[in-house]
Amino acid sequence: MQSQAQIDQLLRQKADAKEIPGVVAVAATRNETIYQGAFGKRDLSKDDAMTLDSVFWIASMTKAITAAAAMQLVEQGKLTLDQPIGNLLPDLAAPQVLEGFDASGEPILRPARSAITLRHLMTHTAGFCYDLWNGDMAKYLEKTGLPGITSCRNDALKTPLTSDPGTRWEYGINIDFVGKAVEAVSGKRLDAYLRDHMFAPLGMNDTAVKIGDDQRKRLVGMHARGEDGQLSSIPFELAQDPE
């Protein structure tokens, strides 16, 4: 087993060589934290050093958090895994499947052959996708003028399916609807539900939907690697007043 000093040396070396901008590393057992360290910079265009309390965009790791919230409500009998979720979320009551485009470029849609369930949404088998990785959906958004999901607007969820529910796996906007289901049965906005039932009980006092002033001071920047292999900071911000 590597010593703490060896782990420190390895992580510091990678940061100093600019192979990574910076890193916060933590290892723990169920009883205690056995290692933690922070090295490098929060943002390569600035002088702020990475610290243990640095704030990161956690992106799709929010999916696991939202799914856990839904499972709390399944355990309480307030949500069900295999009943049509359209009974709770009217927007999913009559899903359409995108089959392609006609000769004039208009979308070809048909009714889905089965209903969407919470289980489908939580396992990415409902038929939804991300336009980032699905060319047909990118074309559909361009044709209809719908915004992309990173706009954090409700209109971004008004997309058809790309396959019938339960027939295949595709990474997509499914968990956004799981969050809607949590709101519908709890009577709380998703941020409030997560704060009250997950973050506060677990002591996750630095996790939130919106970035507070103190968090922004510790925010870690985003970086991209250029064709020369060098990292540089890039602008990144998700909507701070999401619908």
Is 0.85 surpassed by the pTM of this model?
A: yes
Nearest to 69 by CA among 166, 188, 173, 157: 188
Task: Provide the 3-class DSSP secondary structure of residue 221.
Answer: coil
- The question of whether 171 is a catalytic residue gets the answer yes
- The question of whether 63 is a catalytic residue gets the answer yes
| 77-110 pLDDT, tens digit each | 999 999 999 999 999 999 999 999 999 999 999 9
Which member of 14, 139, 151, 171 is catalytic? 171
Nearest to 174 by CA among 159, 153, 191: 159
Which member of 41, 54, 63, 130 is catalytic? 63
How far is 47 from 49, CA to CA, in rounded Å?
A: 6
Hey, what CATH topology would domain 61-191 get?
A: Beta-lactamase (3.40.710)
* Domain chopping of the chain, boundaries: 4-55+212-234, 61-191
- The question of whether 114 is a catalytic residue gets the answer no
DSSP summary character for residue 234: E
| 142-196 pLDDT, tens digit each | 999 999 998 999 999 999 999 999 999 999 999 999 999 999 999 999 999 999 9
Amino acid at 93: A
Which residues have C-beta within 8 Å of that of residue 69, sequence separation ≥ 6?
179, 182, 190, 193, 194, 197, 198
Q: What is the average pLDDT value for the chain, to the nearest integer? A: 95
